[in-house]
Structure 1
Amino acid sequence: MRAKFLCCLCCLLVFPFGLGAKPLPDSHQPLAAVSALLVDINSNEELYAEQADMPLPIASISKLMTALVVLDAQQPLRERIAVNVSDIPGMANVVSRLRIGSTLQRKEAIALALMASENRAAATLAHHYPGGFPAFIKAMNAKAKALGMQQSHFVEPTGLSSANVSSARDLVKLLVASRSYPLLGKLSSAKNRSVTLRKPRYSLAFYNTNPLVNKPGWKIQLTKTGYTDAAGHCLVMLTEMAGRQVAFVVLDAFGKYTHIGDAGRLKRWLHTGKVSKVPPQALRYKQEKRALQQQAAAH
């Protein structure tokens, strides 16, 4: 018995991070994103952080809060709701394959808002919320406050407005809270989805905006992408890296796939300790953004 105890004690001393998890590399992995945070959600250990407390526009990452608020309201998921964007100025001109007035199930609207980042789907969910659009926005901000997201604010459900802001640290809190809503993970991480709408009847195929859901070696439990000119490319995920269950956030990356590249860079860094290069143009963009932020703070 004593020998068994000593053996277990030695294992704990040799492997302080637990089986399957590795200690952090000594080197530092640069990223393309202006802001980033990677957290082990089992131990709450910060594995990587860069300007994680900076409030920034978050584009369609907003839709994760939108979906969470809809589920909180416990509205019937199979209820058919009509596509309506009248509450958000300018939405009528946003490109979408969903026809105004067509109906789809609320669950399908949630799925399209998450995995395909469908703006009309997100706007429709807010329109059909109890109390309408104003009550929905109030609920988004109340939920953020309840989750301790002190640097977050929402003015609409899609993320098209640059006034929808949050920080990487706040978004980790949102990701952790989303684990209590298994449907969000299932819908957001699907590779594709076919949806049939009515009035008139037509079917559409949609695909996930995060290409990592199709990549071997990635175990993604939940994901949301985002992009606007103001927000840059953004990505949040619940996934696995180097044997750890992690919450991953990158905000404001330059280039169509640099946010995806940042995910790969951090995963390789944690697993091997090797530092990967970042495209020079992405680093220049990041430096320029930081200079602008410093100027704004000075004034």
Structure 2
Amino acid sequence: MLAELTNTPAPPETPRRTAVRRVKIWTPILLALAGAVAGGQLLRPLPEPRLVASDTAYTLDGQFSVPWPAKGQGALRVPGSGDIGTFGEQKPVPTASVAKVMTAYVILKSHPLRGGDPGPQIEIDAKAVADGASEHESRVEGLVAGTKFSQQDMLKMLMIPSANNVARLLARWDSGTDSEAAFVEKMNAAARELGMTNTTYTDPSGLDAATVSTAADQLKLADAVMKEEAFRAVVALPSAEIKGLSTPLYNNNTLLTVNGLSIRGIKTGSSTPAGGALMWAAYKSVGDETPLILGTLMDQHVDGPDPNGANSLILVQANSRKIIEAVRQALASAPTVRKGQQVGRVDDGLGGSTPLVATKDLNVIGVPGQRLKLTLRPGAAKVPHTAKAGTEIGVLTIGDGEGAKSVPVAVGTELAEPSFTARVSRLG
């Protein structure tokens, strides 16, 4: 129409003119959309940065072979450093009197003893007296119904001469009934809490062959129960005299008195079905530290007849001694982390990465070839989005369990927020 009014004909339509016109129309629209998208991306909260470890485990230099016996099953651990290893098929086998460790553990959890406190007085009942006259099982004889002993003295009777009648008495005392069934259920509940998935308790003494476990499971119990001061004090005793008993108590664990082994417990077990079993705790001074060494050896049987497992008990202690001597000799402090060593990184969630370095040297006590667990976690505060180089923002833990060693970690270079490009181009 304008062309007609001006008598100037419109230029002919061409692909180039069409393309130019479309560019002029759509460019402002697209720029506006891009600006809106970019603005929206910039307004979105940044993802939380996270720490990523370079490795999840560290293997100490060298090699060490545990002198395991030819048969049975066993497990070894240095609390704080972690497991040394296991041997044999970890299948449930009778525990014999090693079951009393769980009895003591449950008693102390329900009735803790602190600072040398002997605890409440426990009355001897008629059943404990009658059980004390039984044959072919360990027991404390000469108990008199109606007399009382402290909880601490009862634990000594339980753990030192391995008294079955006292194990049953403690179970009845704890549950306040004439039956041990409720206490046995508490034993199994405690086993589940400790992750002892291949363990079943059917009685508090271990006399019943249906009370079964594995060396690996019993090692978990050893680690837990040795944290109890009152328990450690009892199981380290080779013998004890208790007022009210006519004869002293003597420990079946002959390793307690062997010079140079530093054995401080824990419990022997022997029966025809179980053979010989031993849960033990030893110490060794390494520099200015004295780490604990825990071990379990089960299902040890001598050839030929062995009533009540008496000879198998000798066998399991002899085999355990070889293991303890070898581990104590091999145990040493080894360098695991050096100051300035990169141990991980900060992932900002948008493709950015900042190195994390150890702030000091760290040595860990273990045996050659031992595989140590590495755990990287934030410090007291959450991981920041920005930080100057050298700022401590996390902790690297080497080992497993109570007593594991840690070293602070810091950002090796400046930690900065994600770039503009990373923020606007992120997906999801």
TM-score (structure 2 length as normaliser): 0.53
Indicate the residue corresponding to 2:273 in structure 1.
230
Identify the structure with bigger relative contact order (alpha carbons < 8 Å, sequence gap 6+). Answer: 1
Q: Provide the secondary structure at the position in 1 that maps to 2:174.
A: coil
Q: Provide the secondary structure at the position in 2 that maps to 1:239.
A: strand
Deviation of the 1:204 alpha carbon? 2.2
Indicate the residue corresponding to 1:216 in structure 2.
259
Indicate the residue corresponding to 1:13 in structure 2.
none
The correspondence of residues 138-153 of structure 1 with structure 2, limited to 5 A, is 138-153=185-200
Distance 1:33 1:193 in 2: 34
Letter in 1 for 2:320: A
Q: Is the 8 A contact 1:81 1:106 kept in 2?
A: no
Indicate the residue corresponding to 2:121 in structure 1.
79
Q: Is the 8 A contact 2:281 2:293 kept in 1?
A: yes
Deviations 1:160-182 (A, max 9, x none): 00111111111111011112211
Q: Quick one: which of 221, 225, 242 aligns to 1:195? A: 242
Distance 1:179 1:36 in 2: 18
Indicate the residue corresponding to 1:93 in structure 2.
134
Letter in 2 for 1:116: P
Distance 2:205 2:172 in 1: 12
Q: Which protein has the bigger helix share?
A: 1
Distance 2:144 2:191 in 1: 30
Deviations 1:103-158 (A, max 9, x none): 32222111111121111111111111134322211111110111111111111111
Indicate the residue corresponding to 2:322 in structure 1.
265
Letter in 2 for 1:124: L
Question: Which segments of 5 or more consecutive residues in structure 2 lack a partner in the other structure?
Answer: 1-58, 113-117, 302-311, 331-428
Matching of residue 35 in structure 1 with residue 92 in structure 2: no
Question: Which segments of 5 or more consecutive residues in structure 1 lack a partner in the other structure?
Answer: 1-15, 274-299
Q: Is the 8 A contact 1:33 1:259 kept in 2?
A: no
Distance 2:329 2:282 in 1: 18
Letter in 2 for 1:54: K
Matching of residue 130 in structure 1 with residue 171 in structure 2: no
Aligned length: 248
Deviations 1:224-257 (A, max 9, x none): 0001100011000121369553210000212341
Q: Is the 8 A contact 2:66 2:327 kept in 1?
A: no
Deviation of the 1:218 alpha carbon? 1.9
Deviation of the 1:59 alpha carbon? 0.5
TM-score (structure 1 length as normaliser): 0.74
The percent of aligned pairs where both chains have the same amino acid is 23
Matching of residue 165 in structure 1 with residue 212 in structure 2: yes
Matching of residue 112 in structure 1 with residue 157 in structure 2: yes
Indicate the residue corresponding to 2:40 in structure 1.
none
Q: Provide the secondary structure at the position in 1 that maps to 2:296.
A: strand
Distance 1:93 1:71 in 2: 27
Q: Quick one: which of 97, 107, 110 aligns to 1:70? A: 107
Deviation of the 1:80 alpha carbon? 3.0
Letter in 2 for 1:223: I
- RMSD across aligned C-alpha pairs, in angstroms? 2.8
Q: Which protein has the bigger strand share?
A: 2
The alpha-carbon distance between structure 1 residues 260 and 240, as it changes in their structure 2 partners (threshold 3 A), is: same
Deviation of the 1:33 alpha carbon? 4.9
Distance 2:263 2:223 in 1: 14
Matching of residue 45 in structure 1 with residue 72 in structure 2: no
Q: Provide the secondary structure at the position in 2 that maps to 1:195.
A: coil
Higher deviation after alignment, 161-170 or 107-116: 107-116
Indicate the residue corresponding to 1:103 in structure 2.
148
Q: Is the 8 A contact 2:160 2:250 kept in 1?
A: yes
Q: Is the 8 A contact 1:37 1:52 kept in 2?
A: no
Indicate the residue corresponding to 1:184 in structure 2.
231
